[in-house]
A and B are shown apart, each in its own frame.
Chain A
Amino acid sequence: AQKVTQAQTEISVVEKEDVTLDCVYETRDTTYYLFWYKQPPSGELVFLIRRNSFDEQNEISGRYSWNFQKSTSSFNFTITASQVVDSAVYFCALSIYNQGGKLIFGQGTELSVKP
C-alpha cells in the first residue's frame, strides 16, 4: 500500500528563520511522482513542485528548496528566510505511475510564521 507521512503537525517560527517540512513516503512501485501543495486559509490547494522517482536532483526556486532522497524515502521542503505570507498548511503527496493520477496526501503541516 502507498502512504505519505508528515510527522510535523504544526510548526511555528519567527520571520526570517529557515524551516524544513518533512515528508516520508511508502510505495513498492518504482515509478512514481511526489508533489508539494500549499493550502492558504482561503482553502484552495496551490501546486508548488513535482519530482519523479528517477530524478533525485535537489531543486531550488527562490526561497524554496526541495531535497529528494530515495534511500530514505523522503522528500523534504525547506523555506529559507521565512515570511508571514508563508503561513499555510503544506501537503506532500504521492502519485503512482499509470494509476490514474490519484494523489495520496499526507496529513499536512501547519506552518505559522510570526512577525
Chain B
Amino acid sequence: EAEVAQSPRYKITEKSQAVAFWCDPISGHATLYWYRQILGQGPELLVQFQDESVVDDSQLPKDRFSAERLKGVDSTLKIQPAELGDSAMYLCASSLNVGGGKDEQYFGPGTRLTVT
C-alpha cells in the first residue's frame, strides 16, 4: 500500500540553527499539506500546495519558515533560524483533491523536532 514518506523521523538541533524536513507524497496526489503538532494538541496547517503552487500559507511564520514543492511532487519545509518554540511534530499529508474538501488525507509518520 502506498505511503507518505518523511525524513528524518527525529531531529535535534540547537536554536538559531537551520533545519529541513522532506516529504514524498503518495504518487498521483496533487495536494500536499504540512501540519505542525505541538505536544498535547491537534495538528495545525502550516502550508498547503496544489501541485507546485502554494494555496494556503496563512499560518506559516514566513520570517523563519519556508516551503517548496518545485516539481509538484516531493516537498521540503525549512526553518531558519530554529527557536525553542519550534519543538513539535511536523506532519506531511497528501490527498487526491478531487475537489470540495472531502478528500481523505493520508499522513506520513512525521518528523519530531527538538530544539535545544
User: Which A residues fall within an 8 A CB radius of B?
Assistant: 4, 31-33, 35, 37, 42-47, 50, 52, 91, 93, 95-103, 105-108
| Chain A residues whose C-beta falls within 8 Å of the C-beta of B85 in the assembled complex | none
Please encode chain B, from 82 to 113, with 1 for each CB lying within 8 Å of some chain A CB and 0 for all others: 00000001010101010011111111111010
Task: Evaluate contact between A101 and B91: CB separation under 8 angstroms.
Answer: no
| Chain B residues whose C-beta falls within 8 Å of the C-beta of A31 in the assembled complex | 100
The answer to whether A43 and B110 touch (CB under 8 A), given A101-B105, A107-B41, A108-B42, is: yes
Binds A, one of B14-22, B43-51, B61-69: B43-51
Task: Evaluate contact between B100 and A102: CB separation under 8 angstroms.
Answer: no
Extra A-B contacts (20), CB below 8 Å, given A52-B102, A91-B42: A31-B100, A33-B101, A33-B102, A35-B104, A43-B109, A43-B110, A44-B91, A44-B109, A45-B93, A47-B105, A50-B104, A97-B102, A98-B100, A98-B101, A100-B101, A101-B31, A101-B103, A102-B33, A102-B48, A102-B56
Q: Which residue of A lies closest to B55 (CB)?
A: A100
User: Which B residues fall within an 8 A CB radius of A?
Assistant: 31, 33, 35, 40-45, 48, 50, 55-56, 89, 91, 93, 95, 97, 100-110, 112
The answer to whether A99 and B42 touch (CB under 8 A), given A43-B109, A43-B110, A44-B107, is: no
A97 to chain B, nearest CB (A): 5
The answer, among A42, A100, A107, for a CB contact under 8 Å with B48, is A100
| Chain A residues whose C-beta falls within 8 Å of the C-beta of B102 in the assembled complex | 33, 50, 52, 95, 97, 101
16 A-B contact pairs sorted by A residue (CB < 8 Å): A43-B112, A44-B110, A45-B91, A47-B105, A50-B102, A52-B102, A91-B43, A100-B50, A100-B56, A101-B33, A101-B101, A101-B102, A102-B33, A102-B56, A103-B45, A107-B40
